[in-house]
C-alpha cells in the first residue's frame, strides 16, 4: 500500500515538473541563433504570466494523476491465509482455496497460479520481486513454469484441436492482432474452460493441454 501511495504522490509531482520544463522550452529555444520558424515559439513566450506557468503546472499534474490512475488500476495485492489466496485489484477481488494452488510462478510481469492438473487458476499483472513472492507462496513457489517444455505454437487448422477450441484460438488471435487486451483475456478464460493454457509471445499464441 505504501508503494501505491508513493506512486500517487510522485507521478503528479513529476508531471508538474515536466509541465514546467515544457513551459520554459520556448524561451530556451529562442536563444538558439538562426532558428527557423521562430513565430510559434515567440507566441508561446508572450503568453501572460503567471497564468501560463500555472496552466503548465496544472496540465502536468493532471497528466501525472491520469498516469497514476492507469498504473494503480493494474496493481495487484496478494493476501494469503491458512485456507485462501485472495487477489485484489482496484474494483475486483478474486479468492481461491489455498489447497487448489499447487504452483505459483512469475512470467515476465505476471503472476501465474496453477492447479493440480496444471490448469491455470489465475494470471494477473504483478511487479513484485520473485524473492517476496517466494516468501508468500512457500513450497508452491517455482522459479519458472514447470510446464514450459509442453507448449507449442498455435497455427490455424491444427488437426488434433477440437473445433470449439480452434474457433476460440482464431478469435483470440484476431483480438491480439488488433490490440484488444480485454477480449483476449476473456477468450483466454474460455480456453482455460476447454482445458488449454495459453502463453503469448509477440502476439503469437503458444498453448498446452491440461491434465
* Claim to verify: residue 6 and residue 69 sit in the same structural domain: yes
Strand runs labelled E in 90-203 = 92-97, 103-107, 110-114, 120-125, 152-153, 196-201
Asked whether residue 134 carries a pLDDT value surpassing 90, the answer given is: no
Question: Where among 121, 140, 159 does a domain terminate?
Answer: 140
Asked whether residue 186 carries a pLDDT value surpassing 90, the answer given is: yes
Could you tell me the pLDDT band of residue 120, with boundaries at 50, 70 and 90?
Answer: very high
Distance CA 95, CA 41 (A): 56
Average pLDDT over residues 54-70: 78
Asked whether residue 144 carries a pLDDT value surpassing 50, the answer given is: yes
Tally the domains of the chain. 3
- Residue whose C-alpha cell is 517455482: 142
* Claim to verify: residue 134 and residue 155 sit in the same structural domain: no
Average pLDDT over residues 50-58: 72
How does the average pLDDT of the chain come out, rounded?
A: 83
DSSP state of 8: H
pLDDT tens track for 35-51: 555 455 455 555 566 76
* Claim to verify: residue 91 and residue 135 sit in the same structural domain: yes
Strand runs labelled E in 46-102 = 77-80, 84-89, 92-97
Could you tell me the pLDDT band of residue 200, with boundaries at 50, 70 and 90?
Answer: very high
Tell me which H or E stretch contains 207.
strand 204-209
On whether the pTM is more than 0.85, the answer is: no
* Claim to verify: residue 6 and residue 55 sit in the same structural domain: yes
* Claim to verify: residue 97 and residue 130 sit in the same structural domain: yes
Task: Find the range with the poorest average confidence among 10-24, 85-99, 188-202.
Answer: 10-24
* Claim to verify: residue 117 and residue 64 sit in the same structural domain: no
Are the beta carbons of 123 and 188 closer than 8 angstroms? yes
* Claim to verify: residue 56 and residue 34 sit in the same structural domain: yes
Could you tell me the pLDDT band of residue 1, with boundaries at 50, 70 and 90?
Answer: low
* Claim to verify: residue 81 and residue 27 sit in the same structural domain: no
Question: Where among 116, 140, 164 does a domain terminate?
Answer: 140
pLDDT score for 126: 82
Which residues, 6 or more positions from 43, have their beta carbon under 8 angstroms from its beta carbon? none
Distance CA 7, CA 65 (A): 9
Question: Where among 18, 41, 73 does a domain terminate?
Answer: 73
* Claim to verify: residue 58 and residue 91 sit in the same structural domain: no
pLDDT score for 77: 82
CA-closest candidate to residue 210, choices 165, 144, 156: 165
For 205, the domain range is 148-209
* Claim to verify: residue 68 and residue 97 sit in the same structural domain: no
Name which residue leads in pLDDT, 150 or 131: 150
The top-scoring range by mean pLDDT among 17-21, 87-91, 201-205 is: 201-205
* Claim to verify: residue 69 and residue 27 sit in the same structural domain: yes
pLDDT score for 41: 47
Average pLDDT over residues 182-199: 94
Amino acid at each position: 500500500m505504501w508503494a501505491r501511495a508513493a506512486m500517487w504522490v510522485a507521478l503528479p509531482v513529476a508531471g508538474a515538473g515536466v509541465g514546467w520544463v515544457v513551459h520554459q522550452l520556448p524561451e530556451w529555444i529562442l536563444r538558439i541563433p538562426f532558428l527557423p520558424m521562430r513565430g510559434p515559439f515567440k507566441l508561446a513566450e508572450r503568453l501572460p504570466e503567471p497564468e501560463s506557468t500555472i496552466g503548465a503546472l496544472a496540465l502536468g499534474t493532471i497528466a501525472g494523476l491520469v498516469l497514476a490512475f492507469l498504473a494503480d488500476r493494474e496493481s495487484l495485492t496478494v493476501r494469503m491465509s491458512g485456507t485462501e489466496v485472495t487477489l485484489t485489484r482496484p474494483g475486483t477481488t478474486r479468492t481461491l482455496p489455498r489447497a487448489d494452488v499447487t504452483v505459483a510462478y512469475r512470467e515476465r510481469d505476471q503472476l501465474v497460479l496453477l492447479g493440480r492438473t496444471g490448469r491455470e487458476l489465475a494470471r494477473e499483472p504483478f511487479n513484485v520481486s520473485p524473492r517476496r513472492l517466494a516468501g508468500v507462496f512457500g513450497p508452491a513457489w517455482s522459479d519458472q513454469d514447470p510446464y514450459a517444455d509442453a507448449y507449442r505454437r498455435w497455427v490455424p487448422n491444427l488437426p488434433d484441436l477440437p473445433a470449439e477450441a480452434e474457433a476460440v484460438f482464431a478469435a483470440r488471435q484476431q483480438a491480439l492482432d488488433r490490440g484488444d487486451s480485454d477480449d483476449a483475456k476473456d477468450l483466454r478464460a474460455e480456453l482455460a474452460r476447454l482445458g488449454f493454457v495459453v502463453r503469448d509471445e509477440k502476439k503469437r499464441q503458444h498453448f498446452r493441454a491440461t491434465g
